[in-house]
A and B are shown apart, each in its own frame.
Chain A
């Protein structure tokens, strides 16, 4: 079952290169995403068996990520049907890369071997790069180049980390996660520490943690909204899964303190840096990119704080993904209508497109973590964890940074929504597919904010005990 989940999108991606019509490609992508979502939904009741001698296993952590990926691709596939009604560019390479991305991201979620995990994460980097330069102009090529280079170096460092881990695991002689956890006492601590540092720098680079975040505003600013969703919601969280896997090992080898102190520092840095840069920003997509750095900071902060913080971080993975769907798809919809997302070129959206205007407000509130959106709860859980563990200064800095984000993002988004309307040039009508895709995520995020379903709560608790934080 797990093999099919990876193989089918991969084969379909190859099929997209056959001479088929562009509508067929869109439908194919939708059908595959729907099938993927249905299969993943069935995993909630029946856990699939492990495959290839334990190389592919789906545990609670993987299931959280896999469900996120599935939902994100489903909403993007619906959005795409509307988007390509007004977009004249060929969608062949675009759909092919999306399908490759679906396949490799699913592989990330189920891989139980550190080498395989690396291969899968590197593959996601490669297949997402061509997506950024969809509008092939100088700025987007520049963004693609920066993304490709920074992330490749980061990922190369993670490869070194993987090899250092292999040296640390000289006695158990494999990199399979369960074997590593069982033989945790025989791991060489010095090499393990070295590998942890390389892992955090490497995968953190891919997550866009400060100070290796500089590719993020560029890439998200230039990529279309759909790509922004997948990168900010799924791709970055794939790397977070890698950090969670390392946390599993650290908690077994008594390196929790060492690991969490690094995570807390990089988390706080990722909260502070976007707060400094957001106020001068003029582009909605770039502002949302800074907000994404902030959310990644919250994730690692939660992981670093452990227990309640970890629960909050895992919950935040889901909420962050949903919020990113609302934010980047709405930004993409604005970008298509106006040909820009800069606040000095786009104003008065709500007067011409009332629905898009309302969704933009929802995007702002969801991204910033306002009640009743579930992002509010998970952010509160993480800050709460800081207070429980007596890191009062940490909590204070966190709140101040979030306040800065609130002002910064609010200023840009509200400026775009209100003001004197400008006539858009490209598309005149609201598109039903685009709005349905966004509305789905809005309803889901509000729903989670008001009520947490029992299966989800169990899944999160299972995942927390799997990481084994003290």
Chain B
């Protein structure tokens, strides 16, 4: 019963990454990302449904607060200037992105055929879905020009790794798990500050720079 929930979450995660890939409004992307993190943060519930421990609940809460609430909040803060809220000229167009994305997902499923997890995995979909999410995140990072969108790409990559990591939760001590989450949070925090500085620098040189270039990551 619970396995079907795990499968569903995995598939939703990949679909949400595809939606972010095909979107051009940054605010919408951040909302979708928050939803994706929320779905992922529930995964430990589904995985350990029969024997839920205090540790699972703790991880779920921390992930939810950090990834689904605080990180999107910081990103919204970083783009509070209206002028940089849409991705104007991606390196690969939106239509081509989706086709490439589909190919990437197919590739991820094909690769994971040859990888066998030791022990008994909770779901066969975890490995291919996490690989596709990582690759889609990477694609967003390299094909978009806005600084914020690149941060989102990085975060989606991290979400993919997280999906992979939940199936191995018992190997890492809980403190290190929290350390990893905190590190990612601080990373986003610092990236948001740099994005903010980049915007300020552009505003200072407004005369020489056309408005559409604002917030672009060089």
Contacts and interface: CB of A to CB of B under 8 A. Distances in A.
B141 A118 contact: no
Interface in B153-193: 154, 157-158, 161, 164-165, 168, 170-173, 176-177, 179-180, 183, 186-187, 190-191, 193
A415 interface: no
A144 B168 CA distance: 34
Given A130-B190, A149-B141, A159 B154 contact: no
B109 interface: no
A156 B161 contact: yes
B49 interface: no
B180 A138 contact: no
B187 A152 contact: yes
Interface in B114-141: 115, 117-119, 134, 138, 141
Contact of B150 (A122, A144, A149, A156): A149
Interface string B143-158: 0000100100010011
Nearest to B150: A149
Given A123-B183, A145-B198, A167-B118, A153 B157 contact: yes
Interface in A146-174: 146, 148-149, 152-153, 156, 159-160, 163, 166-167, 169-171, 173-174
Given A142-B218, A145-B147, A149-B141, A159 B201 contact: no
B62 interface: no
A136 B164 contact: no
Given A115-B176, A118-B180, A123-B183, A166 B168 contact: yes
A156 B157 contact: yes
Given A129-B190, A152-B187, A170-B119, A116 B171 contact: no
B157 A115 contact: no
Interface residues of A, number: 40
Interface string A124-146: 01100110010011100110111
B168 A167 contact: yes
B197 interface: yes
Contacts of A173: 170-171
B100 interface: no
B217 interface: yes
Interface secondary structure of A, over-half rule:
helix
A153 B138 contact: yes
Contacts of B177: 115
B205 interface: yes
Contact of B201 (A126, A129, A141): A141
Interface secondary structure of B, over-half rule:
helix
A175 interface: yes
Nearest to B169: A166
Contacts of B154: 149, 152-153, 156
Nearest to A129: B190
Contacts of B117: 167
Given A153-B138, A159-B180, A126 B190 contact: yes
Given A141-B194, A156-B161, A170-B119, A119 B179 contact: yes
A266 B173 CA distance: 33
Interface in A406-434: none
B172 A166 contact: yes
A167 B119 CA distance: 9
B187 A141 contact: no
B190 A148 contact: yes
Given A115-B180, A166-B172, A160 B197 contact: no
A115 B194 contact: no
B183 A145 contact: no
Contact of A137 (B134, B161, B201): B201
B176 A138 contact: no
A91 interface: no
Nearest to B181: A119
A153 B190 CA distance: 15
A286 interface: no
Contacts of B179: 115-116, 119
A133 B194 contact: yes
B183 A122 contact: yes
Contacts of B193: 130
A119 B177 CA distance: 9
A335 B82 CA distance: 38
Contacts of A136: 197, 201
A135 B218 CA distance: 18
Contact of B176 (A116, A123, A148, A170): A116
Given A119-B180, A152-B154, A167-B118, A141 B190 contact: no
A119 B205 CA distance: 38
B171 A166 contact: yes
A348 B138 CA distance: 48
Given A145-B218, A173-B170, A138 B201 contact: yes
Contacts of A118: 180
A163 B164 contact: yes
Interface in B60-116: 115
Interface in B24-82: none
Contacts of B138: 153
A113 interface: yes
A160 B172 CA distance: 13
A118 to B, nearest CB: 7
A-B complex: 5 closest residue pairs judged by Cβ atoms: A119-B179, A115-B176, A170-B118, A166-B171, A122-B183
9 contacts: A118-B180, A119-B183, A136-B201, A138-B201, A148-B187, A166-B171, A169-B171, A170-B119, A175-B172
Interface of B: 115, 117-119, 134, 138, 141, 147, 150, 154, 157-158, 161, 164-165, 168, 170-173, 176-177, 179-180, 183, 186-187, 190-191, 193-194, 197-198, 201, 205, 217-218
Given A125-B187, A153-B138, A175-B172, 4 more contacts: A115-B177, A152-B154, A159-B161, A160-B134
